[in-house]
Structure 1
Amino acid sequence: MAKLSDRAAGAVGSVGEYLAEQRRNAQLSLRQLSDLAGVSNPYLSQIERGLRKPSADVLQQLAKALRISAETLYVRAGILDPDESQEGKQPSGVVDAVLLDPALSERQKRVLLDVYASFVRENTPSTD
């Protein structure tokens, strides 16, 4: 974890703790969730303990298996800024489409999401 920035390291721990809590709430064992999500048991264990930072694709698989919002996991993992989150608003599908596209690198996905978020902010009427 020494290679991660402080913010990223905090996000990794946060997403791992959150996943473990959601797994327990769903009354699933680590092995059951890993099977449902299609990730290895040791890898999921490392994510939950904050030792690994999961990709957007893995987060999407885990969210689907847990039947929770993928966007919440993206925010907790530091992939999506909470201010740019569409939670509680009409979902656009753009975030999921970008994050699930296997033809894009993680860096390209982040750049696209940053551009998308800036357009959304620009077109959102001010509440001042």
Structure 2
Amino acid sequence: MTSENTSPWEEQREAMGAFIRSQRMLSNMSLRQLSQATQISNAYLSQIERGMHDPTLRVLVQIGDALHLSIEEMLQKAKETEDAEESVLTVEAAIAADTVLSPPEKQALLAVYRSYVASHL
């Protein structure tokens, strides 16, 4: 999730990293395995997944090849991930602001909501 102080560029970088991480995990690849498949260091891949670095086009192509994704697919899915994160923030804010639910009920609702969201990423 992003904070209010995060720039749009940082949000896009974080969304791309989150998408790459989710695709790697769906492919049942460890970070080390992806590193070997792409010839990119573990540390750099980890930083990309955490949204700390902007990957070059060459790096994106290597990651896409290893995960069997096209550049177009990666960019589109990263955009969708960013949009979904914004939606999650709105829903979570609405739950937190609700005046009818008790704090334990809010926590339970948030836990269920987050588990559903996580299953769709």
Q: For the superposition of Structure 1 and Structure 2, which TM-score range results when normalised by the shorter chain? A: 0.5 to 0.7
For 1:53, the equivalent position in structure 2 comes to: 54
SS in 2 for 1:58: helix
1:13–1:6 Cα change, 3 Å: same
Structure 1 residue 76 displacement after superposition: 5.8
Report the TM-score, using the length of structure 2 for normalisation: 0.56
Letter in 2 for 1:57: R
Kept after mapping to 1: 8 A contact 2:19/2:78: no
Tell which has more relative contact order, 1 or 2 (C-alpha 8 A, sep 6+): 2
Overall identity of the aligned pairs, in %: 38
Count of matched residue pairs: 74
Moved over 4 A (4+): 75-78
For 1:90, the equivalent position in structure 2 comes to: none
Report the TM-score, using the length of structure 1 for normalisation: 0.53
Letter in 1 for 2:22: E
Kept after mapping to 2: 8 A contact 1:23/1:66: yes
For 2:102, the equivalent position in structure 1 comes to: none
1:37–1:23 Cα change, 3 Å: same
Structure 1 residue 74 displacement after superposition: 3.5
Runs of 5+ in structure 1 lacking a partner? 79-128
Kept after mapping to 2: 8 A contact 1:11/1:76: no
- Structure number with the higher helix fraction is 2
Letter in 2 for 1:72: E
For 1:21, the equivalent position in structure 2 comes to: 22
1:79-111 CA-to-partner distances (Å, cap 9, x unmatched) read: xxxxxxxxxxxxxxxxxxxxxxxxxxxxxxxxx
Structure 1 residue 68 displacement after superposition: 1.2
Q: 2:36 and 2:29 mapped to 1: Cα distance? A: 10
Which is higher, the Rg of structure 1 or of structure 2? 2
Q: 2:73 and 2:9 mapped to 1: Cα distance? A: 16
For 1:62, the equivalent position in structure 2 comes to: 63
Structure 1 residue 71 displacement after superposition: 1.2
What is the alpha-carbon root mean square deviation over aligned residues?
A: 1.8
SS in 1 for 2:48: helix
